[in-house]
Amino acid sequence: MDRILTYTIQPEQEGTQLLDFLRSKGFSRGILSSMKADKNAIQLNGERGFGKSILQAGDSLHIHIPEADNTENILPVKMDLSILYEDEDILVINKAADMPVHPSIGNYDNTLANGVTWYFKEKGQHFVYRCINRLDRDTTGALILAKNPYSAAVLSAQMKQRQIRRTYLAIVQGIAPEQGTIDAPIGRAADSTIERQVDFANGESAVTHYERLDTYHSYSLIELHLETGRTHQIRVHMKHIGHPLLGDFLYHPEDHSISRQALHCASLTFTHPITGETLTINAKLPEDMQQLLSQS
């Protein structure tokens, strides 16, 4: 979607070049390039603004950010979406289990992208699918989508700089330690395109912090926070310390107490890309995990 932003230059910003000001606000090279073709994309006090324009306190800066991409190749499919938060810039979804985030071979019409595309088509709004944090197909929970290129650039930078705090809940086999940190590199398992493993020789750095919240006879409910975002990181790390996730067909195939890995992104805390407000979005524990705990 297109986005229009208006700034009033503050005294401490006086003397700054316009281009440097936009960069300080998180405007990426791609966004700045997309605005070049529109002579009215950057207006300074009602006139065309240029990158080397020097800003003065009280100046009014009007920015039009065009939508340069499209998602015409994503098939709109009606789905029941659990929306946790929505405004002009972001959409936060509580993703269901058995739902891939992106279309792929064999998954053309059953993904979150299909459902979100339908949602905005019904509203008559042009929308480009931009997913900020990603979840495995069978992992449930909070997931951020950016509605415009600028929000995507700012939030992606937050993800890269580990400024988006992700809180996960998992149910694992056995009585886990009260708390701990797992610092063990993760790499691809031999002869597999999917499976990962702890690999101290060739793996990439991976750090997971966890705390046991409760115990249920032969398993534990734990809270986890990630410093890194490796594929299957929580699943691999918990298996590594002897407490694999219940229902994890790949890393704990002998357990059938739940039909998918018992893993849920329960909370996201991040800075809103436009307002600068700190947001915490919570997603309640899904029914299948609740039922597993209630059966204890």
Coil vs helix vs strand at 108: coil
Task: Estimate to the nearest angstrom the gap between the alpha carbon of 188 and the chain centroid.
Answer: 23
Apex 164 CA angle, 163 and 167, nearest 5: 130
Q: How far apart are CA 206 and CA 71, in angstroms?
A: 33
Task: Estimate to the nearest angstrom the gap between the alpha carbon of 99 and the chain centroid.
Answer: 15
Q: Alpha-carbon torsion 247, 113, 162, 282, what sign? A: negative
Coil vs helix vs strand at 11: helix
Within 10 Å of residue 266's Cβ, how many Cβ atoms? 22
Query: Which of these is catalytic: 59, 89, 136, 248?
Result: 136
129-136, long-range: CB < 8 A, 24+ apart: 129/71, 129/74, 129/102, 131/101, 131/102, 132/156, 132/159, 132/164, 133/159, 133/164, 133/166, 133/265, 133/268, 134/101, 135/95, 135/101, 135/265, 136/232, 136/261, 136/263
Q: What is the DSSP letter of 40?
A: T
Q: Are strands 263-271 and 140-146 parallel, antiparallel or unpaired?
A: parallel
Assess whether 136 carries a catalytic annotation: yes
What positions carry a catalytic annotation?
A: 136
